[in-house]
Amino acid sequence: MAAFASLGLSEWLVQQCKQMGITRPTPVQENCVPAILEGRDCMGCAKTGSGKTAAFVLPVLQKLSEDPYGIFCLVLTPTRELAYQIAEQFRVLGKPLGLKDCIVVGGMDMVAQGLELSKKPHIVVATPGRLADHIRSCDTLNMKRIKFLILDEADRLLEQGCTDFTKDLEVILSVVPAKRQTLLFSATLTDTLQELRNIAMNEPFFWENKSEIRTVEELDQRYVLTPEKVKDAYLVHLIQKFQDEHEDWSIMIFTNTCKNCQILTMMLREFNFPTISLHSMMKQRQRFANLAKFKSNVFKILVATDVAARGLDIPTVQVVINHNTPGLPKIYIHRVGRTARAGRNGVSITLVTQYDIHLVKSIEEKIQTKLKEYPVEEKEVLKILTQVNVMRRQCEIKLESTDFGEKNEINKKKQMILEGKDPDLEEKRRNKLAKMKKGKKESKGRIQEIIQKKKGKMLKKKGKNTRETAAGLS
């Protein structure tokens, strides 16, 4: 393996890496850094925890040191927490430059952000929605001289998932110069290669790790087969076991909805596990505070939705538990990639119900690895089953009595407005649809009733006829 200096990086950057304990480049760094320094666009697809961030931060800092001005580089990323993490890497590695950065994410004061942006920071790290808002609302925001446009978790930014970034990306792409270097990184680029090539424009340098296996070798990938109703008991049992055997391990639990995230957190707390949550319905300051408490080991267990599935680098995470089997292999890859990073070991356990077996099959196919069963003593699980289920129900009731559902509605409306939809109109449409469905169901019920009645009449008639025939015969 080459040393950093041989990749064309200046001595001061090599020293900065050393200070961070980084002495040898990882393959994605070894391959992408020289191409970026040469001025090429670059697409890097490498496994989770393999150092993709430094692969773009280092060459950008080198180029910035040669010709410093603001705004020099714009980094886009799908989540707010990730934006802070990336900015932190720029700050640490770029300290000798007196680097000025600006983080532009939703949930934070827009006026303060606008003010910071006007001071021409060298690096802007942003989530697309909020940056697009600034561009729409302020025509003095000048992005015309940007030299680097970076999309971290690039495939997610192009996906039309529950948060759709495509419209915001269009707004952003319309204000950055055509003559620029575009760098695209993710552990799962391949599904979106063509669209990404179009963004990169100048026949990009493409690097992908060769191995067929999409997850890291150091990760022990397990599953536990469980009936839906016993799932929570398995979860509590597993956590108890890890807490008993490895006091210093941190655990991330992924679940599918904000509500479930909240309920699981409440439930695990009732069992005295030091648990904290992270989901998109929380206030932004609370999100940051919770993540900080988890990172600093004040809380050892984090229950999160997929908002925490990508990019987050928390070295203490030893275990990832999927409370629900992810519907897409790529979500699985990112979730389990929160452990076993940078050469460390880690375990992932996916709770699989009878309805999820096909999902596991497609995950295994994609990652080219078979998940192994994680041995669990069922007797121990059954012992706590009733207690866990009662506790869950209590937590559900407690949550229902708060304004959680109401907040959810407000957030949904906010999201609709951001997507350019009218929430009242949408509600009317939803109600109409529900009415139609109800009507259909009712008429179906009536038809069934008529059929049943007719059947009854026919049977009666048949019975009468048989009796009459029998009487005639006798």
SS (HEC) of 129-146: HHHHHHHHHCCCCCCCCC
- Of Mg ion, ligand ATP, none, which one sits near residue 54, judging by CB under 5 to 8 A according to partner kind? ligand ATP
Among 16, 53, 262, 348, contact with ligand ATP (rule: CB under 6 A): 53
Least distance to Mg ion, CB of residue 355, Å: 32
Q: Are 305 and 326 in contact (CB under 8 A)?
A: no
Q: Which CB, 88 or 396, lies closer to ligand ATP?
A: 88
Cα→Cα distances 224→233, 235, 339, Å: 12, 10, 18
- Of ligand ATP, Mg ion, none, which one sits near residue 187, judging by CB under 5 to 8 A according to partner kind? ligand ATP
Decide the pairing of beta strands 317-322 and 250-254: parallel
Least distance to Mg ion, CB of residue 51, Å: 8
Cα→Cα distances 12→88, 96, 122, 367, Å: 18, 8, 18, 39
- Of Mg ion, ligand ATP, none, which one sits near residue 199, judging by CB under 5 to 8 A according to partner kind? none
Stretch that binds Mg ion, among 49-57, 407-415, 417-425, 454-462 (CB under 5 A): 49-57
Stretch that binds ligand ATP, among 41-49, 413-421, 423-431, 437-445 (CB under 6 A): 41-49
| Position 59 contacts Mg ion (CB under 5 A) | no
Contacts of 142 (CB under 8 A, 6+ apart): 71
Rounded to whole angstroms, the Cα distance separating 214 from 45 reads 10
Least distance to ligand ATP, CB of residue 29, Å: 6
| Position 76 contacts ligand ATP (CB under 6 A) | no
Six token digits for residue 306: 């997929």
Rounded to whole angstroms, the Cα distance separating 450 from 456 reads 10
Least distance to ligand ATP, CB of residue 103, Å: 17
In single-letter form, the type of residue at position 179 comes to: K
Beta strands across the sheet bearing 148-152: 101-104, 123-126, 73-76, 148-152, 181-186, 42-45, 205-208
- Of Mg ion, ligand ATP, none, which one sits near residue 367, judging by CB under 5 to 8 A according to partner kind? none
- Of Mg ion, ligand ATP, none, which one sits near residue 340, judging by CB under 5 to 8 A according to partner kind? none
| Position 341 contacts ligand ATP (CB under 6 A) | yes
Six token digits for residue 280: 């998109």
Among 25, 59, 311, 346, contact with Mg ion (rule: CB under 5 A): 311
Among 187, 196, 236, 395, contact with ligand ATP (rule: CB under 6 A): 187
Residue 446 half-sphere exposure toward CB, CA atoms < 13 A = 5
Stretch that binds ligand ATP, among 24-32, 127-135, 157-165, 419-427 (CB under 6 A): 24-32
| Position 49 contacts ligand ATP (CB under 6 A) | yes
Among 168, 232, 306, 313, contact with ligand ATP (rule: CB under 6 A): 313
Among 31, 50, 262, 318, contact with ligand ATP (rule: CB under 6 A): 50
In single-letter form, the type of residue at position 14 comes to: V
Rounded to whole angstroms, the Cα distance separating 306 from 331 reads 8
Stretch that binds ligand ATP, among 48-56, 99-107, 195-203, 251-259 (CB under 6 A): 48-56
Six token digits for residue 446: 């009536």
Report the residue count for the chain.
474
Q: What is the DSSP string of 36-58?
A: HHTT--EEEE--TTS-HHHHHHH
| Position 94 contacts ligand ATP (CB under 6 A) | no
Binding site for Mg ion (CB under 5 A): 52, 311
Binding site for ligand ATP (CB under 6 A): 22, 24-26, 29, 46, 48-54, 187, 311, 313, 337, 341-342
